[in-house]
Chains A and B, each alone.
Chain A
Protein backbone atom coordinates (compact mmCIF):
# COMPACT_ATOMS: atom_id res chain seq x y z
CA UNK A 1 0.00 0.00 0.00
CA UNK A 2 1.33 3.39 -0.96
CA UNK A 3 -0.16 6.84 -0.45
CA UNK A 4 -0.30 8.80 -3.69
CA UNK A 5 -1.93 11.94 -2.32
CA UNK A 6 -2.28 12.68 1.38
CA UNK A 7 -4.98 14.90 2.84
CA UNK A 8 -3.12 18.18 2.26
CA UNK A 9 -2.03 17.24 -1.25
CA UNK A 10 -5.58 16.12 -2.13
CA UNK A 11 -6.93 19.45 -0.94
CA UNK A 12 -4.35 21.40 -2.96
CA UNK A 13 -4.94 19.27 -6.05
CA UNK A 14 -8.68 19.90 -5.95
CA UNK A 15 -8.00 23.62 -5.56
CA UNK A 16 -5.62 23.56 -8.53
CA UNK A 17 -8.10 21.67 -10.73
CA UNK A 18 -10.81 24.20 -9.89
CA UNK A 19 -8.50 27.07 -10.78
CA UNK A 20 -7.45 25.43 -14.04
CA UNK A 21 -11.11 24.92 -14.99
CA UNK A 22 -11.87 28.58 -14.28
CA UNK A 23 -8.77 29.68 -16.18
CA UNK A 24 -10.05 27.97 -19.34
CA UNK A 25 -13.70 28.97 -18.99
CA UNK A 26 -14.49 32.66 -18.67
CA UNK A 27 -18.25 32.40 -18.90
CA UNK A 28 -19.64 29.82 -16.48
CA UNK A 29 -23.13 30.13 -17.99
CA UNK A 30 -21.78 28.20 -20.97
CA UNK A 31 -20.32 25.41 -18.81
CA UNK A 32 -21.92 22.37 -17.18
CA UNK A 33 -20.18 20.05 -14.73
CA UNK A 34 -21.04 16.36 -14.81
CA UNK A 35 -19.74 13.80 -12.30
CA UNK A 36 -19.66 10.13 -13.25
CA UNK A 37 -21.41 7.51 -11.14
CA UNK A 38 -20.49 5.97 -8.87
CA UNK A 39 -16.98 7.04 -7.87
CA UNK A 40 -16.79 10.34 -9.69
CA UNK A 41 -19.63 11.77 -7.60
CA UNK A 42 -17.53 12.66 -4.54
CA UNK A 43 -14.65 14.25 -6.43
CA UNK A 44 -16.98 16.18 -8.74
CA UNK A 45 -18.89 17.51 -5.73
CA UNK A 46 -15.63 18.69 -4.15
CA UNK A 47 -14.45 20.36 -7.35
CA UNK A 48 -17.82 22.01 -8.02
CA UNK A 49 -18.04 23.20 -4.40
CA UNK A 50 -14.57 24.72 -4.75
CA UNK A 51 -15.56 26.42 -8.01
CA UNK A 52 -18.70 27.77 -6.30
CA UNK A 53 -16.62 29.21 -3.46
CA UNK A 54 -14.31 30.88 -5.95
CA UNK A 55 -17.16 32.41 -7.96
CA UNK A 56 -19.77 33.34 -5.37
CA UNK A 57 -23.09 34.39 -6.86
CA UNK A 58 -22.61 32.70 -10.22
CA UNK A 59 -25.02 30.03 -11.35
CA UNK A 60 -23.15 26.75 -11.73
CA UNK A 61 -24.88 23.79 -13.33
CA UNK A 62 -23.94 20.41 -11.96
CA UNK A 63 -25.34 16.97 -12.69
CA UNK A 64 -24.45 13.31 -12.31
CA UNK A 65 -24.39 10.68 -15.02
CA UNK A 66 -24.61 6.89 -14.76
CA UNK A 67 -23.18 4.99 -17.72
CA UNK A 68 -24.32 1.45 -16.82
CA UNK A 69 -26.68 1.16 -19.81
CA UNK A 70 -23.88 2.21 -22.20
CA UNK A 71 -21.28 -0.33 -21.10
CA UNK A 72 -19.77 -2.66 -23.69
CA UNK A 73 -19.88 -5.76 -21.49
CA UNK A 74 -23.58 -6.43 -20.79
CA UNK A 75 -23.23 -10.06 -21.85
CA UNK A 76 -20.19 -10.68 -19.67
CA UNK A 77 -21.41 -9.22 -16.45
CA UNK A 78 -24.59 -7.65 -15.11
CA UNK A 79 -24.16 -4.19 -13.66
CA UNK A 80 -26.69 -2.49 -11.43
CA UNK A 81 -27.64 0.99 -12.52
CA UNK A 82 -27.25 4.12 -10.40
CA UNK A 83 -29.17 7.38 -10.57
CA UNK A 84 -28.64 9.85 -13.39
CA UNK A 85 -29.62 13.42 -12.62
CA UNK A 86 -28.99 16.04 -15.28
CA UNK A 87 -31.75 18.62 -14.69
CA UNK A 88 -30.64 21.01 -17.46
CA UNK A 89 -29.91 21.00 -21.18
CA UNK A 90 -26.34 20.39 -22.33
CA UNK A 91 -27.11 21.59 -25.86
CA UNK A 92 -24.37 23.95 -27.06
CA UNK A 93 -22.62 23.92 -23.66
CA UNK A 94 -19.08 23.02 -22.71
CA UNK A 95 -19.39 19.81 -20.69
CA UNK A 96 -16.75 19.05 -18.08
CA UNK A 97 -16.81 15.35 -17.24
CA UNK A 98 -15.33 14.58 -13.85
CA UNK A 99 -14.20 11.17 -12.57
CA UNK A 100 -11.84 10.02 -9.84
CA UNK A 101 -9.51 7.62 -11.65
CA UNK A 102 -8.87 7.36 -15.40
CA UNK A 103 -7.84 3.78 -16.11
CA UNK A 104 -8.72 1.84 -19.27
CA UNK A 105 -10.82 4.68 -20.70
CA UNK A 106 -13.87 2.46 -21.24
CA UNK A 107 -16.02 4.32 -18.76
CA UNK A 108 -15.27 7.60 -20.50
CA UNK A 109 -16.03 6.03 -23.88
CA UNK A 110 -19.44 5.01 -22.51
CA UNK A 111 -19.95 8.46 -20.98
CA UNK A 112 -19.28 10.13 -24.35
CA UNK A 113 -21.97 7.91 -25.88
CA UNK A 114 -24.38 8.63 -23.06
CA UNK A 115 -23.92 12.40 -23.35
CA UNK A 116 -24.99 12.27 -27.00
CA UNK A 117 -28.44 11.26 -25.76
CA UNK A 118 -28.81 14.46 -23.76
CA UNK A 119 -28.13 16.79 -26.68
CA UNK A 120 -25.20 18.10 -28.68
CA UNK A 121 -22.67 19.87 -26.48
CA UNK A 122 -20.25 22.42 -27.94
CA UNK A 123 -17.35 20.51 -26.48
CA UNK A 124 -16.58 17.89 -23.86
CA UNK A 125 -13.55 18.04 -21.57
CA UNK A 126 -12.30 15.44 -19.13
CA UNK A 127 -11.11 16.19 -15.63
CA UNK A 128 -9.72 13.39 -13.43
CA UNK A 129 -8.05 13.26 -10.06
CA UNK A 130 -5.71 10.40 -10.93
CA UNK A 131 -4.53 9.28 -14.36
CA UNK A 132 -3.15 5.73 -14.62
CA UNK A 133 -1.49 6.66 -17.86
CA UNK A 134 -0.02 3.33 -19.01
CA UNK A 135 -3.20 1.26 -18.61
CA UNK A 136 -5.27 2.81 -21.37
CA UNK A 137 -7.21 0.54 -23.74
CA UNK A 138 -8.74 3.36 -25.80
CA UNK A 139 -7.33 6.62 -27.20
CA UNK A 140 -8.68 8.87 -24.43
CA UNK A 141 -6.66 11.47 -22.48
CA UNK A 142 -7.63 13.88 -19.71
CA UNK A 143 -7.69 17.65 -20.20
CA UNK A 144 -7.23 18.32 -16.49
CA UNK A 145 -5.34 15.86 -14.35
CA UNK A 146 -4.67 15.88 -10.61
CA UNK A 147 -1.82 13.40 -10.63
CA UNK A 148 -0.43 11.10 -13.26
CA UNK A 149 0.92 7.77 -12.05
CA UNK A 150 2.43 4.59 -13.50
CA UNK A 151 0.69 1.42 -12.35
CA UNK A 152 0.38 -2.25 -13.25
CA UNK A 153 -2.97 -3.84 -14.17
CA UNK A 154 -2.77 -5.90 -10.98
CA UNK A 155 -2.75 -2.78 -8.81
CA UNK A 156 -5.74 -0.79 -7.54
CA UNK A 157 -6.07 2.95 -7.01
CA UNK A 158 -8.65 4.08 -4.47
CA UNK A 159 -9.73 7.44 -3.18
CA UNK A 160 -10.47 7.00 0.53
CA UNK A 161 -12.90 9.82 1.24
CA UNK A 162 -13.14 9.21 4.99
CA UNK A 163 -9.39 9.66 5.38
CA UNK A 164 -9.17 12.04 2.39
CA UNK A 165 -6.32 10.15 0.78
CA UNK A 166 -5.54 8.55 -2.54
CA UNK A 167 -4.00 5.12 -2.07
CA UNK A 168 -2.33 2.61 -4.39
CA UNK A 169 -2.82 -1.04 -3.43
Chain B
Protein backbone atom coordinates (compact mmCIF):
# COMPACT_ATOMS: atom_id res chain seq x y z
CA UNK B 1 0.00 0.00 0.00
CA UNK B 2 1.26 3.43 -0.86
CA UNK B 3 0.09 6.92 -1.79
CA UNK B 4 -1.51 7.33 -5.20
CA UNK B 5 0.43 10.55 -5.86
CA UNK B 6 4.11 11.35 -6.19
CA UNK B 7 3.73 14.82 -4.68
CA UNK B 8 1.47 16.37 -2.09
CA UNK B 9 0.19 19.40 -3.98
CA UNK B 10 -3.28 19.48 -2.51
CA UNK B 11 -5.95 17.42 -0.79
CA UNK B 12 -7.89 17.67 -4.07
CA UNK B 13 -5.59 15.05 -5.65
CA UNK B 14 -5.79 12.56 -2.77
CA UNK B 15 -8.16 9.63 -2.38
CA UNK B 16 -9.88 8.74 0.88
CA UNK B 17 -7.47 5.77 1.14
CA UNK B 18 -4.48 8.12 0.80
CA UNK B 19 -5.84 10.30 3.60
CA UNK B 20 -6.44 7.30 5.88
CA UNK B 21 -2.95 6.01 5.16
CA UNK B 22 -1.41 9.36 6.08
CA UNK B 23 -3.49 9.67 9.27
CA UNK B 24 -2.71 6.10 10.37
CA UNK B 25 0.99 6.55 9.73
CA UNK B 26 0.84 9.84 11.64
CA UNK B 27 -0.49 8.09 14.73
CA UNK B 28 2.52 5.74 14.64
CA UNK B 29 4.79 8.79 14.43
CA UNK B 30 2.93 10.40 17.30
CA UNK B 31 3.97 7.41 19.41
CA UNK B 32 7.58 7.91 18.24
CA UNK B 33 7.38 11.49 19.54
CA UNK B 34 6.54 10.22 23.05
CA UNK B 35 9.72 8.10 23.27
CA UNK B 36 12.81 9.12 25.26
CA UNK B 37 14.64 9.51 21.92
CA UNK B 38 12.16 11.16 19.55
CA UNK B 39 13.94 10.32 16.35
CA UNK B 40 13.97 7.51 13.81
CA UNK B 41 16.55 6.84 11.08
CA UNK B 42 14.02 6.32 8.25
CA UNK B 43 15.08 9.16 5.93
CA UNK B 44 18.78 9.09 6.75
CA UNK B 45 19.82 9.30 3.09
CA UNK B 46 17.23 11.88 2.03
CA UNK B 47 17.91 15.60 1.64
CA UNK B 48 15.00 18.03 1.83
CA UNK B 49 14.95 21.72 0.98
CA UNK B 50 12.44 24.01 2.67
CA UNK B 51 11.67 26.76 0.18
CA UNK B 52 9.75 29.51 1.90
CA UNK B 53 8.77 32.35 -0.39
CA UNK B 54 6.37 33.60 2.25
CA UNK B 55 6.67 34.10 5.99
CA UNK B 56 5.78 31.31 8.36
CA UNK B 57 6.46 30.31 11.95
CA UNK B 58 4.49 27.17 12.75
CA UNK B 59 4.57 25.44 9.39
CA UNK B 60 8.24 26.04 8.86
CA UNK B 61 9.33 24.94 12.31
CA UNK B 62 6.97 22.00 12.14
CA UNK B 63 8.34 20.79 8.80
CA UNK B 64 11.90 21.28 9.94
CA UNK B 65 11.30 19.32 13.13
CA UNK B 66 9.51 16.57 11.20
CA UNK B 67 12.46 16.30 8.81
CA UNK B 68 15.00 16.22 11.62
CA UNK B 69 13.06 13.60 13.56
CA UNK B 70 13.12 11.44 10.44
CA UNK B 71 16.92 11.96 10.25
CA UNK B 72 16.72 13.72 6.87
CA UNK B 73 19.25 16.40 5.97
CA UNK B 74 17.62 19.78 5.63
CA UNK B 75 18.38 23.04 3.89
CA UNK B 76 16.39 26.16 4.63
CA UNK B 77 15.77 28.79 2.09
CA UNK B 78 13.89 32.01 2.55
CA UNK B 79 13.25 34.26 -0.41
CA UNK B 80 14.12 37.49 1.34
CA UNK B 81 17.70 36.40 2.12
CA UNK B 82 18.47 34.85 -1.27
CA UNK B 83 19.24 35.54 -4.90
CA UNK B 84 15.52 35.86 -5.56
CA UNK B 85 15.99 39.51 -4.69
CA UNK B 86 18.54 39.65 -7.54
CA UNK B 87 15.84 38.54 -9.98
CA UNK B 88 16.37 34.77 -10.23
CA UNK B 89 13.28 32.88 -11.40
CA UNK B 90 11.58 30.19 -9.32
CA UNK B 91 12.54 27.42 -11.72
CA UNK B 92 16.18 28.53 -11.89
CA UNK B 93 16.41 28.70 -8.12
CA UNK B 94 14.95 25.24 -7.68
CA UNK B 95 17.00 23.64 -10.46
CA UNK B 96 20.15 25.07 -8.93
CA UNK B 97 19.26 23.61 -5.56
CA UNK B 98 18.33 20.24 -7.07
CA UNK B 99 21.62 20.02 -8.96
CA UNK B 100 23.19 19.65 -5.52
CA UNK B 101 21.34 16.31 -5.15
CA UNK B 102 18.28 17.25 -3.16
CA UNK B 103 15.48 14.67 -3.03
CA UNK B 104 12.44 16.57 -1.84
CA UNK B 105 11.10 20.09 -1.88
CA UNK B 106 8.79 21.59 0.73
CA UNK B 107 7.46 24.86 -0.64
CA UNK B 108 5.37 27.77 0.48
CA UNK B 109 4.61 30.44 -2.07
CA UNK B 110 2.27 33.41 -2.25
CA UNK B 111 1.20 32.49 -5.79
CA UNK B 112 -1.54 29.88 -6.06
CA UNK B 113 -0.37 26.96 -8.20
CA UNK B 114 3.37 27.61 -7.76
CA UNK B 115 4.06 24.04 -6.53
CA UNK B 116 1.94 22.61 -9.36
CA UNK B 117 4.04 24.53 -11.86
CA UNK B 118 7.20 23.22 -10.22
CA UNK B 119 5.89 19.64 -10.26
CA UNK B 120 5.67 19.78 -14.05
CA UNK B 121 9.31 20.74 -14.40
CA UNK B 122 11.29 18.94 -11.72
CA UNK B 123 11.67 15.28 -10.78
CA UNK B 124 11.93 15.75 -7.00
CA UNK B 125 8.89 15.09 -4.79
CA UNK B 126 7.12 18.30 -3.79
CA UNK B 127 5.14 18.98 -0.63
CA UNK B 128 2.94 22.05 -0.74
CA UNK B 129 3.27 24.01 2.50
CA UNK B 130 0.70 26.57 1.37
CA UNK B 131 0.24 28.21 -2.02
CA UNK B 132 -1.51 31.60 -2.17
CA UNK B 133 -5.24 31.20 -1.63
CA UNK B 134 -5.34 27.65 -3.03
CA UNK B 135 -4.40 24.87 -0.61
CA UNK B 136 -2.50 24.07 2.59
CA UNK B 137 -2.78 20.28 2.59
CA UNK B 138 -0.69 19.42 5.66
CA UNK B 139 -2.75 21.85 7.77
CA UNK B 140 -5.96 20.10 6.72
CA UNK B 141 -4.39 16.73 7.48
CA UNK B 142 -3.31 17.80 10.96
CA UNK B 143 -6.73 19.33 11.58
CA UNK B 144 -8.36 16.04 10.59
CA UNK B 145 -5.92 14.08 12.74
CA UNK B 146 -6.73 16.33 15.72
CA UNK B 147 -10.50 15.98 15.19
CA UNK B 148 -10.12 12.22 14.95
CA UNK B 149 -8.00 12.11 18.08
CA UNK B 150 -10.44 14.25 20.05
CA UNK B 151 -13.76 12.84 18.82
CA UNK B 152 -12.93 9.34 17.51
CA UNK B 153 -13.71 9.69 13.82
CA UNK B 154 -14.42 12.07 10.94
CA UNK B 155 -17.37 10.18 9.47
CA UNK B 156 -20.61 12.07 10.08
CA UNK B 157 -18.96 14.84 12.12
CA UNK B 158 -20.35 18.32 11.66
CA UNK B 159 -17.46 20.70 11.12
CA UNK B 160 -17.85 24.45 10.91
CA UNK B 161 -15.29 26.76 9.32
CA UNK B 162 -15.64 30.36 10.49
CA UNK B 163 -14.30 33.54 8.98
CA UNK B 164 -12.32 34.41 5.92
CA UNK B 165 -13.32 31.52 3.65
CA UNK B 166 -12.53 33.53 0.52
CA UNK B 167 -8.82 34.03 1.18
CA UNK B 168 -8.16 30.92 3.24
CA UNK B 169 -6.16 28.02 1.81
CA UNK B 170 -6.74 26.26 5.12
CA UNK B 171 -10.50 26.42 4.49
CA UNK B 172 -10.29 25.00 0.96
CA UNK B 173 -8.01 22.11 1.97
CA UNK B 174 -10.21 21.38 4.99
CA UNK B 175 -13.37 21.33 2.87
CA UNK B 176 -11.86 18.89 0.34
CA UNK B 177 -10.56 16.62 3.08
CA UNK B 178 -13.62 16.59 5.32
CA UNK B 179 -15.95 15.90 2.37
CA UNK B 180 -13.76 13.02 1.21
CA UNK B 181 -13.79 11.51 4.69
CA UNK B 182 -17.55 11.70 5.07
CA UNK B 183 -17.88 14.70 7.39
CA UNK B 184 -20.46 17.45 6.95
CA UNK B 185 -19.10 20.94 6.40
CA UNK B 186 -20.59 24.37 6.96
CA UNK B 187 -18.94 27.72 6.41
CA UNK B 188 -19.89 30.87 8.31
CA UNK B 189 -18.76 34.47 8.05
CA UNK B 190 -19.67 37.81 6.56
CA UNK B 191 -21.07 37.52 3.00
CA UNK B 192 -18.13 39.52 1.68
CA UNK B 193 -15.70 36.82 2.85
CA UNK B 194 -17.63 33.82 1.53
CA UNK B 195 -17.37 33.00 -2.21
CA UNK B 196 -20.77 33.35 -3.89
CA UNK B 197 -21.20 29.89 -5.40
CA UNK B 198 -19.36 27.88 -2.73
CA UNK B 199 -22.56 26.03 -1.79
CA UNK B 200 -22.98 24.58 -5.28
CA UNK B 201 -19.27 24.24 -6.11
CA UNK B 202 -18.11 22.41 -3.00
CA UNK B 203 -21.35 21.05 -1.49
CA UNK B 204 -21.01 22.86 1.81
CA UNK B 205 -23.68 24.58 3.88
CA UNK B 206 -23.50 28.35 4.24
CA UNK B 207 -24.68 30.26 7.29
CA UNK B 208 -24.34 33.97 8.01
CA UNK B 209 -25.50 33.82 11.60
CA UNK B 210 -22.67 32.65 13.84
CA UNK B 211 -24.85 31.48 16.72
CA UNK B 212 -26.99 29.29 14.45
CA UNK B 213 -23.86 27.86 12.87
CA UNK B 214 -22.26 27.05 16.23
CA UNK B 215 -25.49 25.44 17.36
CA UNK B 216 -25.28 23.08 14.37
CA UNK B 217 -21.66 21.93 14.64
CA UNK B 218 -19.58 19.45 16.68
CA UNK B 219 -16.29 21.11 15.82
CA UNK B 220 -15.62 24.77 15.00
CA UNK B 221 -12.44 25.67 13.15
CA UNK B 222 -11.92 29.42 13.56
CA UNK B 223 -9.87 30.89 10.72
CA UNK B 224 -7.59 33.87 10.92
CA UNK B 225 -8.66 37.16 9.41
CA UNK B 226 -6.05 37.58 6.71
CA UNK B 227 -5.57 41.30 6.50
CA UNK B 228 -2.50 40.88 4.28
CA UNK B 229 -4.50 39.11 1.58
CA UNK B 230 -7.32 41.63 1.31
CA UNK B 231 -6.89 44.24 -1.37
CA UNK B 232 -10.00 46.11 -0.31
CA UNK B 233 -11.65 46.34 3.04
CA UNK B 234 -14.33 43.66 3.15
CA UNK B 235 -15.75 44.52 6.55
CA UNK B 236 -15.93 47.86 8.24
CA UNK B 237 -13.73 47.34 11.29
CA UNK B 238 -12.05 44.65 13.35
CA UNK B 239 -14.26 45.60 16.26
CA UNK B 240 -17.39 45.11 14.19
CA UNK B 241 -16.07 41.77 12.93
CA UNK B 242 -15.45 40.68 16.50
CA UNK B 243 -18.96 41.65 17.54
CA UNK B 244 -20.61 39.74 14.68
CA UNK B 245 -18.25 36.79 14.08
CA UNK B 246 -15.84 36.65 17.01
CA UNK B 247 -16.10 33.44 19.03
CA UNK B 248 -16.59 34.47 22.65
CA UNK B 249 -17.00 32.60 25.91
CA UNK B 250 -20.47 34.07 26.34
CA UNK B 251 -21.58 32.79 22.95
CA UNK B 252 -20.24 29.28 23.61
CA UNK B 253 -21.85 29.20 27.05
CA UNK B 254 -25.21 30.04 25.48
CA UNK B 255 -25.12 26.83 23.40
CA UNK B 256 -26.67 23.72 24.89
CA UNK B 257 -23.59 21.62 24.15
CA UNK B 258 -19.81 21.69 24.28
CA UNK B 259 -18.10 21.98 20.91
CA UNK B 260 -14.42 21.53 20.02
CA UNK B 261 -12.62 24.76 19.12
CA UNK B 262 -9.75 24.80 16.62
CA UNK B 263 -7.60 27.50 15.05
CA UNK B 264 -4.78 27.08 12.53
CA UNK B 265 -2.85 30.05 13.92
CA UNK B 266 -1.54 32.65 14.15
CA UNK B 267 -4.36 33.92 16.36
CA UNK B 268 -5.63 37.48 16.25
CA UNK B 269 -6.76 37.51 19.87
CA UNK B 270 -9.88 39.56 20.36
CA UNK B 271 -10.71 39.56 16.65
CA UNK B 272 -11.85 36.15 15.39
CA UNK B 273 -11.49 34.45 18.77
CA UNK B 274 -11.37 35.73 22.35
CA UNK B 275 -8.50 34.84 24.64
CA UNK B 276 -10.61 32.96 27.16
CA UNK B 277 -11.92 30.70 24.38
CA UNK B 278 -8.52 30.11 22.78
CA UNK B 279 -7.04 29.12 26.14
CA UNK B 280 -10.03 27.10 27.37
CA UNK B 281 -10.27 23.32 27.79
CA UNK B 282 -12.59 23.16 24.76
CA UNK B 283 -9.78 24.41 22.54
CA UNK B 284 -7.35 21.95 20.94
CA UNK B 285 -5.22 24.64 19.31
CA UNK B 286 -1.96 23.52 20.91
CA UNK B 287 -2.70 19.85 20.22
CA UNK B 288 -3.08 20.82 16.56
CA UNK B 289 0.43 22.23 16.60
CA UNK B 290 1.78 19.13 18.36
CA UNK B 291 0.06 16.81 15.88
CA UNK B 292 1.44 18.86 12.99
CA UNK B 293 4.89 17.35 13.42
CA UNK B 294 3.60 13.75 13.39
CA UNK B 295 1.40 14.40 10.35
CA UNK B 296 4.25 16.02 8.40
CA UNK B 297 6.55 13.13 9.33
CA UNK B 298 3.94 10.78 7.86
CA UNK B 299 3.68 12.77 4.62
CA UNK B 300 7.44 13.00 4.16
CA UNK B 301 7.94 9.33 5.03
CA UNK B 302 5.27 8.12 2.62
CA UNK B 303 6.48 10.33 -0.25
CA UNK B 304 10.17 9.55 0.29
CA UNK B 305 9.42 5.84 0.41
CA UNK B 306 7.69 5.91 -2.95
CA UNK B 307 9.62 4.04 -5.58
CA UNK B 308 11.01 6.38 -8.21
CA UNK B 309 10.12 4.93 -11.56
Using a CB–CB distance below 8 Å, which chain A residues touch chain B?
A: 66, 68-71, 74-85, 113-114, 116-119
Contact = CB atoms under 8 A, between A and B. Distances in A.
Given A75-B305, A84-B31, 6 more contacts: A69-B32, A75-B45, A80-B1, A80-B24, A84-B28, A113-B41
B121 to A, nearest CB: 23
Interface of B: 1-2, 21, 24-25, 28-29, 31-32, 35-43, 45, 70, 301-302, 304-307
A78 B2 contact: yes
A82 B45 contact: no
B42 A83 contact: no
B37 A69 contact: no
A77 B301 CA distance: 12
23 contacts: A66-B28, A69-B32, A69-B301, A70-B40, A74-B43, A78-B2, A78-B302, A78-B306, A78-B307, A79-B305, A80-B24, A81-B24, A81-B29, A82-B28, A83-B28, A84-B28, A84-B31, A85-B31, A116-B37, A117-B36, A117-B38, A117-B40, A119-B36
Contacts of A81: 24-25, 28-29
A80 B25 contact: yes
Contact of B41 (A70, A75, A80): A70
B41 A69 contact: yes
B41 to A, nearest CB: 6
A121 B249 CA distance: 50
Nearest to A89: B36
B144 to A, nearest CB: 18
Query: What are the nearest 4 A-B pairs in CB distance?
Result: A78-B305, A69-B40, A117-B37, A81-B28
A69 to B, nearest CB: 4
A118 B32 CA distance: 10
Contacts of B305: 74-75, 77-79
A69 B294 CA distance: 13
Contacts of B40: 69-70, 114, 117
Contacts of A85: 31
Nearest to A82: B28
B36 A118 contact: yes
A91 B24 CA distance: 29
A114 B302 CA distance: 19
A66 B42 CA distance: 13
Contacts of B70: 69
A74 B1 CA distance: 14
Contacts of A80: 1, 21, 24-25
Contacts of B35: 117-118
A136 to B, nearest CB: 22
B300 to A, nearest CB: 11
A118 B25 CA distance: 20
Contacts of A83: 28, 31
A32 to B, nearest CB: 14
Nearest to B28: A81
A71 B305 CA distance: 11
B25 to A, nearest CB: 6
Nearest to A69: B40
A131 B42 CA distance: 27
B304 to A, nearest CB: 7
